[in-house]
Structure 1
Amino acid sequence: MAVTIKKCNHEDLKTLQEISIETFYETFKDQNTAENMNAYLENAFQLEKLESELSNPFSQFFFVCVEDEVAGYLKVNTDEAQSEKEGNDSLEVERIYVRKKFQKHGLGKVLLNKAIEIAVEQSKRKVWLGVWEKNENAIAFYEKMGFIKTGSHSFQMGDEEQLDWIMTREIG
């Protein structure tokens, strides 16, 4: 299984939108109402919004590919692009998703290690992320990767306020 990581650019916008919608829906459809899912998907993954995020010099997107097929993606933020004020010594993993058919093949670990590699290259002291408190599989994965719960914040899913754990890993 040939696994590669590719940094996304504006030519990847449509593919980024497709995988963003697909993986978010696959991950959370069973725990949320259709109305809340649709409201979130329509807002979060508009082409214009993704294009703006891609243009932000403090955000980066990466595809993980298996045999040239996009299997998942990663979005990292630094400095003022972070969704919480965690400081300039931090890197945020805002999104990390793998298509269902590619899960359980170590691709999440590949993507998370890419985020840690970027943090080290940029002399960051910690990597952090928000994960839904009910996403037990993801929480267990992050704990296995050395992350610990350090706080929480609200996440708006349509008309429902949900709680995300903030999990952090010190590096360097």
Structure 2
Amino acid sequence: MNITFRQCVSDDIYTLQNFSYRTFNETYINMNTSSNMKAYLEEAFDVNKLRGELADSNSLFYFLYADGELAGYLKLNESAAQTDINDLQSIEIERIYIANEFQGKGLGGVLINKAIDIAKMRKKSYLWLGVWEKNDKAILFYKKNGFEEIGTHSFFMGDEEQTDLIMRKIL
């Protein structure tokens, strides 16, 4: 499989929005109410919000292509763009998604390695992320990739407050 990355730019806004909707739905549609999913998707992946995130120098988006097809993406945050922690020595993995048809092919690990490479290049001490406490598959994946639980924070899915585990990987 030929794997390539491309950093997202403003012209990618609709591709990013559509792929974000799709992969988020694939991951969480069966675990949340349709009204909460709709509310979250409309807020989190609003075109103007995404446009602002793409323009923020503290946030980076990367598309992952497998044999020329968009297979996944990664969103990284530094300093003030982070959703929590806000440690200058860290990079947050805010989003890491692989489309269903590409799961089980090692691409999640490829995205983690991309995040590690960027963090090391930027001389960061660790990566961190938040993962829903009920997403056992993702938690196991992060543990296999050297992340350990260091705390929790709240995450709102529509009107439902959920608990995310905060996990860290020391570099």
TM-score range, shorter chain: over 0.9
The 5 A counterparts of 1:95-134 are 95-134=95-134
Letter in 1 for 2:108: G
Looking at structure 1, the residues matched to 85 and 115 of structure 2 have their Cα atoms a distance apart, in angstroms, of: 18
- Superposed CA deviations along residues 37-94 of structure 1, whole A, max 9, x for unmatched, are 0000011101111010000000000000012111110000011111113410000000
Q: Which structure 1 residue ranges, 5 or more long, are not aligned?
A: none
Looking at structure 1, the residues matched to 136 and 24 of structure 2 have their Cα atoms a distance apart, in angstroms, of: 16
- Superposed CA deviations along residues 107-141 of structure 1, whole A, max 9, x for unmatched, are 11111110111110011001000000000000000
Report the RMSD for the aligned CA atoms in angstroms: 0.6
The 5 A counterparts of 1:2-81 are 2-81=2-81
What stretches of structure 1 move > 6 A for 4+ residues in a row? none
* Alpha carbons 2:73, 2:97 under 8 Å: kept: yes
Looking at structure 1, the residues matched to 150 and 86 of structure 2 have their Cα atoms a distance apart, in angstroms, of: 11
The 5 A counterparts of 1:138-149 are 138-149=138-149
Letter in 1 for 2:102: F
Decide which moves more: 77-86 or 21-30: 77-86
Structure 2 length as normaliser, TM-score? 0.98
Alignment partner of 1:157 is 2:154: no
Looking at structure 2, the residues matched to 41 and 11 of structure 1 have their Cα atoms a distance apart, in angstroms, of: 20
CA positional deviation for 1:4: 0.7
* Alpha carbons 2:78, 2:86 under 8 Å: kept: no
Looking at structure 2, the residues matched to 51 and 112 of structure 1 have their Cα atoms a distance apart, in angstroms, of: 24
Q: Which structure 2 residue ranges, 5 or more long, are not aligned?
A: none
Structure 1 length as normaliser, TM-score? 0.98
SS of 1:105's partner is: coil
